[in-house]
Amino acid sequence: MGDHALPGKPPVPLTLRKSARARRISLRISQLDGRVTLTYPKGVPESEALSFAKVKEDWIRQHLQDRPDPSVVEFGQTVLVEGRDRRIVPAEGRRVMLRDAEIAVPEGSEARRLARFLKELARDRLTEACDDYAAMLGRPYSSLTLRDTRSRWGSCSSTGGLMFSWRLILAPSDILHYVAAHEVAHLAEMNHSPAFWAQVERLFGPCKNQRRWLRDNGAQLHQYRFGADAS
């Protein structure tokens, strides 16, 4: 379909997606990376879809402007850890230390050191949660991996492999536990049917607030930049 963008300063790249299931032209702006996706039915000309985006240009630019600015991880800045702001300070020793209002990091490649610590903490928390939920469900999972995903917080493969975004460790604990329960529930129901949501509620409990929190605040977890070698 080629490269498309709304002209202006700056130009806004558009990802065009023709869908046989679409009944109308729609726009979606990713909370994670700001990608603007224009979806339109197969019978609609591409030019008509682009005209629709042009009409919605003010709305698109306002939403992009409201996205949080990237935050570089460095001493003196704050970073969310388990839902709490922690100021990044130099450590006296050689280990990263998590405190109530601070996180102490050894000097030298501090962004990479901090990212490694957070990934290890995320693995510990997610493994513990998934072990508990899998035991409640009576179905084991085959593996647990962490990635810095941009489009989803977790997934479950047909072979029982669980994958999570390590940035869940930045969110409040109940958010991490909800995502863990969501993916473990897929071990029994590989869909989003009423039966699946019944499993989620059996494992975790009511989750409307956690789903809303991710929708409204998930982009904030991606504002932190740990450096290219720490992603």
Reported as half-sphere exposure (CB side, CA atoms, 13 A), residue 146 has a value of: 19
Q: What is the pLDDT of residue 190?
A: 96
Q: What is the pLDDT of residue 68?
A: 66
Q: What is the pLDDT of residue 225?
A: 86
Handedness of CA 168, 170, 175, 178 (dihedral sign): positive
Q: What is the pLDDT of residue 129?
A: 98
Distances (CA, A) of 44 to 12, 16, 131: 22, 12, 48
pLDDT mean for each 10 residues of the chain (231 residues):
80 92 89 82 93 92 76 88 96 92 92 95 98 98 94 94 98 98 98 97 98 91 73 47
Q: What is the pLDDT of residue 72?
A: 76
* Per-residue model confidence as pLDDT tens digits over 112-129: 999 999 999 999 999 999
Q: What is the pLDDT of residue 2?
A: 53
Helix-strand-coil percent breakdown of the chain, rounded to 5?
40, 25, 35
Provide the 3-class DSSP secondary structure of residue 15: strand
117 close to 125: Cβ distance less than 8 angstroms: no
Q: What is the pLDDT of residue 71?
A: 75
Q: What is the pLDDT of residue 154?
A: 97
161 close to 142: Cβ distance less than 8 angstroms: yes
Domains in the chain with CATH codes? 4-66 (no CATH), 113-230 (3.30.2010.10)
Question: What are all long-range contacts of 54-62, with beta carbons under 8 Å and residues at least 24 apart?
Answer: 54/6, 56/27, 57/6, 57/8, 57/12, 59/27, 60/6, 60/12, 60/27, 60/29, 60/36, 61/8, 61/12
* Per-residue model confidence as pLDDT tens digits over 68-82: 666 778 899 999 999
Distances (CA, A) of 180 to 138, 144, 146, 156, 186: 15, 11, 12, 10, 10
Q: If you search the block for the tokens 């998934």, which residue do you land on?
A: 130
